[in-house]
Amino acid sequence: MVLLEFSMSPLGKGESVGRYVSRSLDLIDKSGVDYRLNPMGTVIEGEWEEVIAVVTQCYERMKKDCHRISCTIKIDYRKGHAGRLGSKVASVEKRLKRKLKV
């Protein structure tokens, strides 16, 4: 299973791009892939093909009305590990024996 974090924004649509980001989140939320939104991106979990398909879907939607798009993606594949959307944070808290800000 793969954890994939990404953020995607148009260039040339002004300083505020929330409108475009929201459309991506709408697609992610409806994709059926599990995810967590954070202030700098969205982390999704699934098999490689599944998570890449979600990013591709957001890209296809955005390029309909955006002529330049920036996207950063970070992937962490770990064989035989699932449910890491929750377990990675929990593991750090367990080591530190206290709750952190999430």
Binding site for its own copies (CB under 8 A): 3, 5, 7, 9, 11-12, 14-19, 21-22, 25-26, 29, 34-41, 43, 48, 52, 56, 59, 63, 67-80, 84-86, 88-89, 91-92, 95-96, 98, 100-102
Q: How far is the CB of 53 from its own copies (least distance, A)?
A: 10
Cβ atoms within 10 A of the Cβ of 26, count? 12
Q: For residue 82, give both structure tokens.
A: 């699932």
Cα(10)–Cα(67) distance, integer angstroms: 8
Q: How far is the CB of 50 from its own copies (least distance, A)?
A: 12
| Cβ closest to its own copies, residue 11 vs residue 46 | 11
Cα–Cα distances in angstroms (integers) from residue 53 to residues 46, 47, 70, 77, 83, in the given order:
10, 10, 17, 16, 19
Cβ atoms within 10 A of the Cβ of 7, count? 16
Q: How far is the CB of 46 from its own copies (least distance, A)?
A: 13
Q: How far is the CB of 22 from its own copies (least distance, A)?
A: 4
